[in-house]
Copies of this chain bind each other. A is one copy, B any other.
Amino acid sequence: MATKTTKDRLLDEAELLCQTRGFNAFSFKALAEALEIKTASVHYHFPTKADLGLALVQRYRERFESQVARVSSGRSSRDRIASYVDIFARLARSHRLCLCGSLAGDFATLSDEVQGEVRDYFAASEAWLEGVLEAGRTAGEVSFQGEARATSRVLIGMLEGTMLSARASGSPNRLRDTKRWILDFLAVPTP
């Protein structure tokens, strides 16, 4: 495989900084210094910061979707959900937020296009989890009350939110507890 292009390295660094510090807390200068190039060269690859943000969220969503697709193949609904939560747990352990969760915090300062991508990220995630929950309930693999959509939404909120509080509490491993709680919550009662 070819070594990474500068563009990809810029996106890697921007993603790290956005997830650890926030979109408004890193600059083209910070990116340039990390790659040991000049800020003008960063502008060559991404004319404006809005362009960078858009590329960032699009790449993130693509990778996220492909992770979710891998999670979706084959196994039980319960396993899918466990693996899905693991995606977030891994992020938290490396002291990162979900990129779109981080961007949601800065939502009002984002370009319309980036706002749209973040909105779509949540809609897509909620729809995916809703599907898994509904299918799992039909198959008797998971149990919960009420509409799958409502549970899907609160569980995704829970993941985004516990990443926040885990960070503030200096407990990057706390998502393990969230995972256990969710799996217990969804457990089918043994009669």
Contact = CB atoms under 8 A, between A and B. Distances in A.
A106 interface: yes
Nearest to A109: B25
Nearest to A95: B108
Q: How many copies does the complex hold?
A: 2
Interface stretch (A1-9, A69-77, A167-175): A167-175
Contacts of A109: 21-22, 25
Nearest to A182: B154
A94 to B, nearest CB: 13
A21 B100 CA distance: 15
**Interface residue tally of chain A, by bracket?**
35 or more
B25 A106 contact: yes
Contact of A164 (B21, B24, B160, B177): B160
Contact of A22 (B22, B126, B182): B22
Interface in A8-42: 20-22, 24-25
Given A24-B24, A25-B106, 7 more contacts: A122-B168, A122-B169, A156-B165, A157-B165, A158-B161, A160-B164, A161-B162
12 contacts: A22-B24, A97-B105, A101-B161, A115-B168, A119-B170, A122-B168, A123-B169, A126-B165, A146-B184, A153-B165, A154-B178, A159-B161
